[in-house]
Structure 1
Amino acid sequence: MRSNSPGKIIVIGGGIAGLSLAAEIADWAEVTVIEREPHLGYHASGRSAALFSETYGNRLVRALTLASRQAIADGGFAAHRRGALHVGWTGDDAAVDRLAGELQALVPSVRRLSAAELHALVPVIAREATCGGVYEPDAVDVDTGKMLAASASALKAGGGIIRTGEEVRAISPDGRGLRVETSAGVYSADIVVNAAGAWVDVVAGLAGLSGLGFQPKRRTAFLFDAPAGADISNWPLVVDLHEQFYFKPDAGRLIGSLADETDSEPCDAWPEDIDVAIAVDRIEQATSMRIGRPSTPWAGLRTFAPDRTPVAGFDPRLPGFFWLGGQGGYGFQVSLTLARMSAALIRGEPLPADVTALGVAAAALAPDRFLTPAATP
């Protein structure tokens, strides 16, 4: 046991949320990550079309993103300066102007593009079809596989343990700590971190706690070929202003999506044919591209708290039970900062100064905000 550490910490969930926190505290406590699936990042973390965008999400999410930029750069996780483009159509001038003003106030590099400028950037969108758009040039692709592997390596280097293919079945108080029963045995822990993605409320139930109201939402995506002869390497992520679809380059092809958010139970998400078909039709209607039959469709669950802000903090109803969930569609761009914050909370230390300087307070992320007074001891 490390000096001044709580002893043993169990992290439930082997996605980027749990792994990044486990790596952050591995040199301070005895950490074991328990993942039900056969390999790490099986669900949302392994199905992400990850983009680091400083304009994405609500105010708190954007602050967490800003605080993560340096760590993503230092870790070598920024794969490509992609850019992000919100496209407005004929008649959307006022909405595009309004969005440009809002985003420029957050990120000064954001620019309002004319129809001609937008067409020059993404030639498959006709000038006569658009009123221009809002362009964030510094959005970058994130190498999600490298980020997951780096967290796993750092965890192991710090003496941490990873157990895959092991399901948690019960969590209960055990003296001054917690008892975690799994399909492979029993663990004792001083702290249990619930970083189970779409299953965070389910895991809470295993500890006898009511959930906080997390909602998994299915998003479907697919791959398709670029237009013949087109150089798509520097195309940005293209998002419909009304969030009806998006597409972006990926390894010489294009990822397309309906940008859907369909409520779902926690599950191994599977794409619906109708969602793929609608997305194909919308992209074809908006561009000169003809997709035909796309390949390799997939779906993932993006899990949100009721206020769409992540949750990080101890549950006042069960000492030692720590929530880390609701990273939604922002996981890879905020997880490193949430890991630093969560590590500070677990250690009983102040939040990192660079994070608080951006207006982030522990109370804004605490699970308490979803608990009624009667539910807390």
Structure 2
Amino acid sequence: MTYDIAIVGAGIAGASLAAAVGDGARVLLLEAESHPGYHATGRSAAFWSETYGGPGVQPLTSASERALREAGVLDPLGELHIGRADDAAAADAFLAAFAGSGVRLDRVDPAAMVPGLLPGWTIGIHEPSCAYIDVGALHARYLATARSAGATLVVDAAMRSAVRRGGSWRIETAAGPFAADVLVNAAGAWADEVAVRAGVAPIGIRPFRRTVVQLRSDPAPPARLPLVADIAGSFYFKPEAGGRLWLSPSDETPSDPCDAAAEELDVAIAIDRFEGAVDWRVDAVERRWAGLRSFAPDRLPVYGVAPDMPGFFWFAGQGGFGIQTSPAAAMIGAALVQGGTPADEVSGIDVARYAPARFASMPR
């Protein structure tokens, strides 16, 4: 059997695209692991923040809100961006970057929103729209939607090679050979590697390790505490169920594609930065983990046909914003890969800025 579309990677990117394509094509989802979402998707401390990823990503995030709310995977959280006096220029630039975007940002007294905030943290910008994302429920919903539309999921199917002949791809995997007219690269940290195995020029998508720890603190974080993020980008923390706290040092350590694990130094750095922001005592580190976030050179996602290979479709480079932008990204991807008209929610987005052709003139 020859599928219309074979998608390499069944994490949030591949699963959302398969769901958006629906019954409009015969879709094959190839997952290298024994279950989908093992790496980036399954390790995300995801939230929906319209400012996360910058102005180039914000249209995708904002366009995703309706679908995420209809799916029932968002819960109110709010985000508080905090800074010291020497962050004033960064705060002004942050506000200017989103002026006119429709994203609500309010200057506030951060001490009024974070009990125990240490002196010196005088800058506060509140983003009330920020929300939790139930990542597991969202990913499961995408997979279920794709299956109900007829998509075939094959696990333990790492792609070894792909060759295009006569307008069709012959794909060799650990689970055997497959054939498809279009090959979609939704392989996350392995995106460049998959491209090379298909004879396509890599873009320069690089994975970076991000660390998260779960803490028990004294006092416990208030249930109504927002996501608190350093405007300089050195940490963020948010409340979790059971009076726990999730904390990250916002690290981006270059990494090979791998099964990432938290390192002791990054955990120690996270705690040190946390203790430099609030007067809470850390009683215990209960969990620690790391995941990979993969970025293209310009830190924007990549959607579209490879300029050097017909039938090879990039759907990668979603960094840490792949979950919050997944509905809009999937709508765009489904329209591009099938040659259709984009859904109304994304019709006003300049899709050309995400096209892989923008890297064609870059040195390899």
Same fold (TM over 0.5): yes
Superposition map of 1:1-377 within 5 A? 7-78=3-74, 80-114=75-109, 118-126=110-118, 128-228=119-219, 230=220, 232-252=222-242, 253-357=244-348, 360-372=349-361
Equivalent pair of 2:213/2:286 in contact (CA under 8 Å): yes
Give the AA of the match of 2:236: Y
Percent identical pairs in the alignment equals: 42
Deviation for aligned residue 1:226: 3.6
Aligned-pair CA distance for 1:99: 3.0
Is the 2:4–2:182 Cα contact (8 Å) retained in structure 1? Answer: yes
Query: How far is the alpha carbon of 1:240 from its aligned partner?
Result: 1.1
- Cα–Cα, structure 1 residues 231 and 156, in superposed 2: closer, same or farther, change >3 Å? same
**Alpha-carbon shift at residue 96 of structure 1 (Å):** 3.2
Q: Does the CA-based 8 Å contact 1:91-1:131 persist in structure 2? A: no
Alpha-carbon distance in 2 for matches of 1:130, 1:183: 53
| Contact persistence 2:216–2:245 (CA under 8 A) | yes
For 1:11 and 1:205, the matched residues in 2 are separated by 16
How many residue pairs align between the two structures?
363
In the alignment, is the contact (CA less than 8 A) between 1:53 and 1:140 conserved in 2? yes
Assess if the C-alpha contact under 8 Å between 1:180 and 1:186 holds in 2. Answer: yes
What amino acid is the match of 1:68? S
Question: Structure 1 residue 108: deviation in Å?
Answer: 4.8
1:93-142: CA deviations, max 9, x gaps?
4543443454454345311012xxx222110213x332131110110000
Contact 1:85 1:133 in 2 (8 A): yes
Secondary structure of 1:331's partner? coil
CA distance in 2, matches of 1:267, 1:135: 36
Give the deviation of 1:227 after TM superposition: 2.4
Pair 163,96 (structure 1): closer, same or farther in 2 beyond 3 Å: same
What TM-score do the two structures reach when normalised by structure 1?
Answer: 0.91
SS at match of 1:328: coil
User: CA deviation digits over 1:18-60, x for unaligned, max 9?
Assistant: 0000111131111111111111110001111111011112323
**Distance of 1:93 and 1:345 partners within structure 2:** 42
Q: Quote the RMSD (CA, aligned, Å).
A: 2.0
- Structure 1 residues 99 and 369: CA distance shift in structure 2, 3 A: closer
Q: Indicate conservation of the 8 Å contact 1:215/1:263, yes or no.
A: yes
Cα pair 2:87 2:232 within 8 Å, conserved = no
> Mind listing any 5+ residue stretches in structure 1 that lack a counterpart?
none
Cα contact 1:58–1:309 (8 A) shared by 2: no
Measured in 2, the distance between the counterparts of 1:181 and 1:286 equals 51
- 8 Å Cα contact 2:55/2:98 also seen in 1: no
